C-alpha cells in the first residue's frame, strides 16, 4: 500500500510588512524509503514569497526529471571539441542540479564526475581577498596600508608608485601595476618550459620590474594578476605564516570545505582531473597535467570542486563568512573598461548583469582548466562551471535559460527523506499596497504515494500590514464551588474575532490550581499547553541530554495542563541526519511491560495462570537447564523472584573477547543455554534479583501457550488495539523505514561506534521492541490508567516486591515514591547504543518518556530515581503547583471545566482566582480579565440526590441511547452532574 501524504499550512495569515514566515508541513503516513519519496506541489503564487530565504528540513526541493534531462542534454550538446570534460552545478531554492559530461582522463576514457577536483584559476583571487578582509576585521592591517608598509624594499623598489599603492587598489585592480603573466606568456611562446619552473612569488614580481605603470594608482581599472601575487606576499608578511595555511584557517576550515586545496603549498587529498590544451596547434589535445601552478600562486593556484565552490560562494555573498562592513567593502564595485569578463569589479570579485539577473562572479583560467563561479543575490542562485580543456567559451548561455524556464513552472517537487518535512518560506514585502491576496499550495498526484483528501490543499491569506490583535475576555460560573459536591468550575474564553488555523495561545495566571481535580479537566474550543517556564525547562533538559556519548535525544511529557515533545541532536552521525520527535528507537527493557501485559491478557482469557510453572509449558530440554523449574511460576518470572541466573552476564562476557556474538542470530533456547550449570540466585520466591532470563522464558511461555509467534501475540493484544503504528518487534517483523542508529564507544578509542549491526535476537522478549515517544506515551497511559487490563489483572501487575535498591517491582513494572509526583510506575531500558525511560504518575496524571541513541550515566533505575525527586521532571510534572497555564484558543469561544477537589478537610472559606495575562498576539479585555470562585467545604441545605436511568437496555453502533435523570433537592442555580463510563466522561447541567 502506498504511503499517504498530507499538507498543512500555517499560519493562516501572512503579513508582508513583517515578512511573516510561512510553513508548509508535508507528512507521510509511514517513513519513506532510503531514497525518499518525490512529491509534486502545485504553487501558482510563488512570486509572493522570498525564495532566497527558503529553508527545508526533512527533505529537499528537487527539479522535475524532465528539466534535469533537458539540462543534461544542453550540457552534452554545448561542450566544445577542445573540452574533454565539464561539470556544472546550479543551486537554488527552487531545486538544484549537478551535471557532468565527457571524461576526466582522455587516455583511459575515465568519465568525469560531479564531485571531481579541478584547478579553479583566478577564483583563487576571491579566497585571497576574503582572507585579507578577515585580517582587516582582526585589526592586523587596513585596506589603506601601502605596499611599502608591509613588503621589503627588495620587492617594492622596482614597482612604480609602491609607496602610494594601497591594499584596496591591488584587490580592485586599480593599482596600475602591469600583469606579470603577459611577460610569462610572451616568453612561453619561445620557451614553453617556463611553466615547468618552480617559481617563488618574489621571482614572479620581477617580471614587472622597471615596467611603466599602466596608470597612476586609483586613476583607472585594469585586471593584473601581479596585484594578487603582491596580496599573497602581504598576507604572509602580516601573519608570519604560509599563505595556504592562512586561507585554510580563515575560510576552508570554518566553511567545512574538505575538497579545496592550495596546490604546491599543501597536499591535495584526491586526484585532480587531467588538464588538456592543444598547446602546439596541431589539432591534438595535449595532456598538460604535469605542469605545476607555482607560476599562478596567489593569483590562481587553488584546487576545488562544484560542491565546495557553491558553499564558498553562499557563505561569502550571504554574509556568513565576513562581517557586514567587510562584505560591503568587498562589494563596493567600480566599472571596468573594455573588459569582456566583468562589468565592474570590487575587492577580488567581479559583477555582470545578464538580461534576467545581476551576478557576483569570478572567472578562472589556468593552462587547461577554465572555471566560473557566479552568484545571484536576487534569486539565491549559484552557477558553478569547471572544465578541463583550454577554452575561451563557457556553457552558461546554453544551461541557464532552460533552468530559468523550468523553475518558472507552477509545479515544484520535494523529495521527502523523513516522515515529516517542513518548508519555511517568508512572504515577500514588495512595498506596494495591494489589499488581501491568496496564495494556494496543492499536492498533485504522483508515483509512489497517495493523497490525503482531507489535507491536499492549503491557502495563505496575504495582507500588506499588521492585522489588529484579537481581544480576549474571561468569564466564569458558578460563583460558589462546594468541595463535598466537587462542583465544576467553568472558565469561558471569548475572542473578538475568529482565530487563525494555528490558534491564539493565551496565558492564565492561576495561583490556586491545587484546589482543583486536574485529572478531570475538560476543554472545548481549544487545548491546554504547558506554560512557557515548563517548556523552557524541558528544552534545556533535552539539549543537555545530547553529549559526546549521546548523539540524539527525544523527550515527551503529557499532563492535564498540556503536552510537550521535542528532539535534539542526530539520528545518524554518518549522514548528519537530524533527530525528529517521531523517530523510532530500540527501547530495550521497556519490552518487558509489553511481555508482562501480553501474559496478563492470556490470564484474562484463561489460556494460562500466573501460578503455572515452567514445567507446565516449556519443553524438558529447556527446563532441564533451569534449577527449580518445576516450582518457578510465571508470576515469579514477571516480578524477578524466580532466582534464575542472568544470561546477559555470559553473553557480554563472551562479547568482550568476541564481539561477533552480538551480531549472530540467536534462538531463545540458545540464550537460555547460556545459564547452563549456573547456580540460581536464590530459591524461587525467596528474594528479588533482576534477570533478563526471566523474560526470555516468559516469551517462550507465551509461544507455548498460544502456539503462535510472540511478536504476533503482542501485536494483536497491544499494538493493534492501541493503534501503535510506530512500534515493532525487531527481528520478528519487518520495520518499514527502520529506526535510528545506536552508538557506543565499544572499543574505548574515544570514537562512537554505530551499533546497527547488533542483532536484536540477542535481546528477544527481554528487549527487542522498537518504538517512539508518542507510542510509548499512549501505551503507558492505557496500561497504568487501567484501560488495557481488567481490574483483577491490573491488581496483579501492581502487586509489588521490594527490590532492596530503592524501588519496588510488580509484573513487568517498576515503582518508586517521590515527594511531588507521588508513586511513579513504569520501566527503563538500556541496551547496546540505546537508553529509554517510560514513567507515569497517577497522582498528577503525568507521563514522562525519553529515549536516546547513546550511553547515559543513568544505567540503572536507582540512577533514574533522583531525577524524579528533584529537578526538571517533578517541576514540570507537579501541575497542581503551577501558578499559570496556557490555552490555545481554536474557536471564538472556548470553555474549561474544572471540578473543585474534595480534600476531606474542614477549612475556612477560600477563593480561587484566574486572571488573563498580557500576551504578544492578543489584547486583554480589562473589564473581563479576572474570574474569582468562592470555595466552601459543604452547604447546610440538603444535598441533591440524583438517580440515573437509560433506554434501551441494549444498543448497537448507530443507535441512540437516552439517559434519564431524577433529582431531589435540586438547587435554584441548577446542578452539574458528572457521568463516567468506560467510553467517555461528561459533565451535564441540570
pLDDT tens-place string over residues 628-640? 999 999 999 999 9
Read off the pLDDT of residues 281-319 as tens digits, 9 standing for 90 and up: 788 888 988 899 999 999 999 999 999 999 999 999 999
Question: What value does the CA radius of gyration of the chain take, rounded to a whole number of Å?
Answer: 36
pLDDT value, residue 22: 92
Least confident of 182-191, 371-380, 573-582, 935-944: 935-944
Of the pLDDT bands very low, low, confident and very high (cuts 50, 70, 90), residue 940 is low
- Angle (CA) 686-690-691 rounded to 5° is 100
Return the half-sphere exposure (C-beta side, CA atoms, 13 A cut-off) of residue 742.
Answer: 24
Long-range pairs of 942-945 with CB within 8 A, sequence gap ≥ 24 = 942/969, 943/484, 943/485, 943/969, 944/485, 944/968, 944/969, 944/970, 944/971, 944/975, 945/969
pLDDT value, residue 890: 92
Between 77 and 528, whose confidence is greater? Answer: 528
DSSP string of 335-356?
Answer: E-SS-SS-SEE-SS-EEEE-SS
What average pLDDT does range 856-879 have in this prediction?
Answer: 82
What average pLDDT does range 965-977 have in this prediction?
Answer: 72
Question: b or e along 253-291 (b: 16 or more beta carbons within 10 Å of the residue's beta carbon)?
Answer: eebebebbbbbbbeeeeeebbbbbbebeeeeebebbbeb
Between 646 and 413, whose confidence is greater? Answer: 646
Of the pLDDT bands very low, low, confident and very high (cuts 50, 70, 90), residue 66 is confident
pLDDT value, residue 857: 64
DSSP string of 599-668?
Answer: HHHHHHTTS--TT-BHHHHS-HHHHTTSTTTTT-BHHHHHTT-S-PPPHHHHHHHHHHH-GGGGTS---H
- Cα separation of 458 and 452, whole Å? 12
The mean predicted confidence, pLDDT, of the chain is 90
- Cα separation of 214 and 227, whole Å? 13
Distances (CA, A) of 459 to 49, 437, 456: 13, 10, 11
Structural contact between residues 886 and 505, judged by C-beta atoms closer than 8 angstroms: yes
Which CATH number is 539-871's, of 3.40.710.10, 1.10.10.10, 3.40.50.2000, 3.40.50.620?
3.40.710.10
- Cα separation of 683 and 808, whole Å? 19
Structural contact between residues 208 and 226, judged by C-beta atoms closer than 8 angstroms: yes
Domain covering 97-403, topology: Beta-lactamase (3.40.710)
pLDDT value, residue 366: 92
What average pLDDT does range 336-347 have in this prediction?
Answer: 89
Which residues, 6+ apart, have CB-to-CB distance to 768 below 8 Å?
586, 591, 729, 730, 731, 732, 760, 761
% of the chain exceeding 90 in pLDDT:
66
On the 0-12 / 13-18 / 19+ scale of CB atoms within 10 A, 232 is buried
Q: What is the CATH number of domain 4-63+407-463?
A: 2.60.40.1930
pLDDT value, residue 160: 93
Task: Give the other-Cβ count within 10 Å of 663's Cβ.
Answer: 12
**CATH 3.40.710.10 residue spans of the chain:** 97-403, 539-871
Of the pLDDT bands very low, low, confident and very high (cuts 50, 70, 90), residue 397 is low
Read off the pLDDT of residues 620-671 as tens digits, 9 standing for 90 and up: 999 999 999 999 999 999 999 999 999 999 999 998 888 889 999 999 999 9
pLDDT value, residue 693: 97
In the predicted structure, residue 964 carries a pLDDT above the cut 80: no
Q: If DSSP codes are grouped into helix, strand and coil, which group holds residue 878?
A: coil
In the predicted structure, residue 408 carries a pLDDT above the cut 70: no
Of the pLDDT bands very low, low, confident and very high (cuts 50, 70, 90), residue 864 is confident
In the predicted structure, residue 529 carries a pLDDT above the cut 70: yes
- Cα separation of 531 and 563, whole Å? 10
Distances (CA, A) of 970 to 475, 486, 965, 989: 24, 15, 12, 11
pLDDT value, residue 813: 96
Of the pLDDT bands very low, low, confident and very high (cuts 50, 70, 90), residue 990 is low
% of the chain exceeding 70 in pLDDT:
96
Among residues 737, 735, 783, which one has the least CA distance to residue 760? 735
- Cα separation of 174 and 165, whole Å? 9
Nearest 10 degrees: Cα torsion 155, 158, 161, 162: 10
Return the half-sphere exposure (C-beta side, CA atoms, 13 A cut-off) of residue 82.
Answer: 16
Of the pLDDT bands very low, low, confident and very high (cuts 50, 70, 90), residue 52 is confident
In the predicted structure, residue 984 carries a pLDDT above the cut 70: no
pLDDT value, residue 219: 95
**CATH 2.60.40.1930 residue spans of the chain:** 4-63+407-463
Cell representation of residue 146: 601601502
Structural contact between residues 297 and 328, judged by C-beta atoms closer than 8 angstroms: no
Long-range pairs of 860-868 with CB within 8 A, sequence gap ≥ 24 = 860/805, 861/805, 861/806, 861/807, 861/814, 861/816, 861/828, 862/805, 862/806, 862/807, 864/828, 864/837, 865/806, 865/807, 865/816, 865/818, 868/816, 868/818, 868/821, 868/824, 868/839
β-bridge partners, 933: 912
Cell representation of residue 968: 431531589
Give the number of residues written for the chain.
990
Structural contact between residues 428 and 54, judged by C-beta atoms closer than 8 angstroms: no
Read off the pLDDT of residues 84-135 as tens digits, 9 standing for 90 and up: 999 999 998 888 889 999 999 999 999 999 999 999 999 999 999 999 999 9
pLDDT value, residue 668: 96
Among residues 479, 476, 438, which one has the least CA distance to residue 460? 438
Among residues 837, 855, 857, 856, which one has the least CA distance to residue 847? 837
In the predicted structure, residue 266 carries a pLDDT above the cut 70: yes
Among residues 702, 646, 641, which one has the least CA distance to residue 679? 646
pLDDT value, residue 507: 95
Q: DSSP code of 282? A: S
- State the alpha helices, DSSP H only, in 222-331: 226-239, 243-247, 306-317, 324-330
Between 356 and 5, whose confidence is greater? Answer: 5
pLDDT value, residue 392: 65
What average pLDDT does range 400-414 have in this prediction?
Answer: 74
Among residues 123, 676, 563, which one has the least CA distance to residue 371? 123
- Cα separation of 880 and 846, whole Å? 11
In the predicted structure, residue 858 carries a pLDDT above the cut 80: no
Amino acid at each position: 500500500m502506498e504511503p499517504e501524504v498530507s499538507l498543512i499550512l500555517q499560519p493562516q495569515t501572512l503579513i508582508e510588512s513583517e515578512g511573516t514566515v510561512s510553513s508548509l508541513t508535508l507528512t507521510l503516513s509511514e517513513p519513506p524509503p532510503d531514497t525518499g519519496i518525490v512529491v509534486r506541489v502545485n504553487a501558482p503564487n510563488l512570486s509572493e514569497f522570498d525564495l532566497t530565504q527558503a529553508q527545508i528540513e526533512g527533505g529537499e526541493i528537487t527539479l522535475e526529471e524532465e528539466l534535469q534531462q533537458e539540462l543534461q542534454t544542453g550540457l552534452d550538446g554545448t561542450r566544445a571539441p577542445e573540452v574533454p570534460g565539464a561539470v556544472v552545478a546550479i543551486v537554488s531554492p527552487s531545486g538544484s542540479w549537478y551535471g557532468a559530461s565527457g571524461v576526466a582522463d582522455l587516455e583511459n576514457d575515465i568519465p568525469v564526475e560531479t564531485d571531481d577536483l579541478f584547478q579553479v584559476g583566478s577564483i583563487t583571487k576571491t579566497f585571497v581577498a576574503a582572507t585579507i578582509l578577515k585580517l582587516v576585521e582582526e585589526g592586523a592591517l587596513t585596506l589603506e596600508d601601502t605596499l611599502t608598509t608591509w613588503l621589503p624594499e627588495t620587492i617594492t623598489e622596482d614597482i612604480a608608485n609602491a609607496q602610494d599603492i594601497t591594499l584596496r587598489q591591488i584587490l580592485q585592480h586599480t593599482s596600475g601595476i602591469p600583469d606579470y603573466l603577459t611577460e610569462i606568456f610572451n616568453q612561453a611562446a619561445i620557451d614553453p618550459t617556463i611553466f615547468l619552473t618552480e617559481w617563488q612569488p618574489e621571482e614572479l614580481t620581477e617580471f614587472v620590474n622597471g615596467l611603466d605603470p599602466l596608470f597612476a594608482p586609483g586613476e583607472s581599472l585594469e585586471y593584473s594578476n601581479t596585484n594578487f601575487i603582491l596580496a599573497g606576499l602581504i598576507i604572509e608578511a602580516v601573519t608570519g605564516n604560509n599563505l595556504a595555511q592562512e586561507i585554510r584557517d580563515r575560510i576552508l576550515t570554518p566553511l567545512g570545505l574538505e575538497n579545496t586545496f592550495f596546490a604546491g603549498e599543501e597536499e591535495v587529498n584526491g586526484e585532480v582531473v587531467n588538464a588538456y590544451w592543444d598547446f602546439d596547434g596541431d589539432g591534438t589535445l595535449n595532456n598538460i597535467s604535469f605542469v605545476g601552478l607555482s607560476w599562478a600562486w596567489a593569483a590562481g593556484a587553488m584546487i576545488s570542486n562544484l560542491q565546495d565552490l557553491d558553499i564558498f560562494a553562499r557563505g561569502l555573498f550571504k554574509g556568513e563568512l565576513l562581517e557586514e562592513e567587510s562584505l560591503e567593502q568587498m562589494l563596493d564595485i567600480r566599472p571596468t573598461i573594455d573588459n569582456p569578463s566583468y562589468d565592474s569589479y570590487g575587492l577580488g570579485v567581479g559583477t555582470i548583469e545578464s538580461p534576467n539577473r545581476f551576478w557576483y562572479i569570478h572567472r578562472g583560467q589556468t593552462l587547461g582548466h577554465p572555471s566560473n563561479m557566479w552568484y545571484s543575490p536576487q534569486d539565491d542562485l549559484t552557477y558553478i562551471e569547471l572544465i578541463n580543456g583550454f577554452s575561451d567559451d563557457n556553457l552558461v548561455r546554453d544551461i541557464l535559460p532552460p533552468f530559468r524556464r523550468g523553475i518558472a513552472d507552477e509545479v515544484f517537487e520535494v523529495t521527502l527523506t523523513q516522515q515529516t518535512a517542513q518548508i519555511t518560506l517568508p512572504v515577500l514585502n514588495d512595498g506596494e499596497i495591494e489589499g488581501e491576496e491568496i496564495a494556494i499550495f496543492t499536492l498533485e498526484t504522483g508515483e509512489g504515494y497517495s493523497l490525503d483528501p482531507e489535507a491536499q490543499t492549503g491557502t495563505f491569506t496575504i495582507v500588506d500590514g499588521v492585522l489588529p490583535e484579537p481581544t480576549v475576555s474571561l468569564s466564569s460560573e458558578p460563583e460558589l464551588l462546594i468541595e463535598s459536591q466537587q462542583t465544576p468550575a467553568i472558565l469561558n474564553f471569548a475572542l473578538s474575532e475568529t482565530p487563525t488555523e494555528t490558534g491564539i495561545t493565551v496565558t492564565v495566571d492561576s495561583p490556586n490550581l491545587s484546589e482543583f481535580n486536574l485529572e478531570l479537566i475538560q476543554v472545548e474550543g481549544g487545548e491546554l499547553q504547558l506554560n512557557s517556564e515548563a517548556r523552557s525547562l524541558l528544552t534545556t533538559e533535552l539539549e543537555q541530554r545530547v553529549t559526546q556519548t549521546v548523539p540524539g535525544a527525544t523527550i515527551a511529557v503529557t499532563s492535564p495542563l498540556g503536552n510537550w515533545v521535542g528532539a535534539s541532536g542526530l539520528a545518524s552521525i554518518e549522514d548528519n541526519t537530524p533527530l525528529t520527535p517521531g523517530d523510532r528507537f530500540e527501547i530495550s527493557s521497556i519490552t518487558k511491560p509489553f511481555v508482562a501485559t501480553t501474559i496478563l491478557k492470556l490470564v484474562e482469557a484463561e489460556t494460562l495462570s500466573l501460578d503455572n510453572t515452567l514445567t507446565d509449558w516449556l519443553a524438558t530440554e529447556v527446563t532441564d537447564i533451569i534449577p527449580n523449574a518445576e516450582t518457578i511460576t510465571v508470576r515469579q518470572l514477571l516480578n524477578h523472584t524466580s532466582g534464575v541466573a542472568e544470561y546477559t552476564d555470559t553473553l557480554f562476557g563472551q562479547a568482550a573477547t568476541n564481539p561477533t556474538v552480538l551480531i549472530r542470530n540467536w534462538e531463545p533456547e540458545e540464550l537460555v543455554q547460556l545459564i547452563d550449570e549456573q547456580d540460581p540466585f536464590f530459591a524461587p520466591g525467596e528474594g528479588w534479583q533482576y534477570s533478563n532470563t526471566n523474560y526470555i522464558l516468559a516469551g517462550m511461555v507465551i509461544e507455548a501457550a498460544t502456539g503462535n509467534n510472540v511478536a504476533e501475540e503482542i501485536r494483536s493484544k497491544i499494538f493493534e488495539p492501541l493503534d501503535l503504528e510506530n512500534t515493532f518487534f525487531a527481528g520478528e517483523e519487518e520495520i518499514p523505514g527502520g529506526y535510528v542508529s545506536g552508538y557506543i564507544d565499544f572499543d574505548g578509542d574515544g570514537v562512537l561506534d554505530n551499533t546497527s549491526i547488533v542483532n536484536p535476537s540477542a535481546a528477544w522478549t527481554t528487549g527487542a521492541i522498537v518504538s517512539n515517544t508518542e507510542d510509548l506515551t499512549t501505551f503507558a497511559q492505557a496500561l497504568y490508567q487501567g484501560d488495557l487490563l481488567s481490574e483483577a489483572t491490573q491488581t496483579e501487575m501492581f502487586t509489588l516486591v521490594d527490590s532492596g535498591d530503592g524501588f519496588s517491582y510488580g509484573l513487568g513494572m517498576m515503582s518508586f515514591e517521590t515527594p511531588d509526583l507521588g508513586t511513579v510506575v513504569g520501566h527503563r531500558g538500556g541496551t547496546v547504543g540505546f537508553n529509554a525511560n517510560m514513567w507515569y504518575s497517577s497522582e498528577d496524571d503525568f507521563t514522562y518518556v525519553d529515549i536516546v541513541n547513546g550511553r547515559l550515566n543513568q544505567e540503572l533505575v536507582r540512577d533514574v530515581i533522583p531525577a524524579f525527586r528533584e529537578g526538571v521532571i517533578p517541576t514540570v510534572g507537579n501541575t497542581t503547583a503551577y501558578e499559570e497555564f496556557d490555552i490555545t484558543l481554536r474557536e471564538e469561544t472556548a470553555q474549561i471545566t474544572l471540578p473543585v477537589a474534595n480534600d476531606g478537610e474542614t477549612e475556612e472559606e477560600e477563593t480561587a482566582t484566574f486572571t488573563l495575562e498580557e500576551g504578544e498576539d492578543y489584547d486583554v479585555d480589562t473589564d473581563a480579565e479576572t474570574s474569582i470562585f468562592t470555595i466552601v467545604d459543604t452547604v447546610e441545605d440538603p444535598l441533591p440526590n440524583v438517580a440515573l436511568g437509560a433506554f434501551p437496555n441494549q444498543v448497537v453502533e448507530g443507535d441512540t441511547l437516552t439517559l434519564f435523570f431524577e433529582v431531589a433537592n435540586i438547587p435554584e442555580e441548577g446542578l452539574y452532574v458528572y457521568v463516567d463510563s468506560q467510553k467517555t466522561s461528561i459533565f451535564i447541567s441540570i
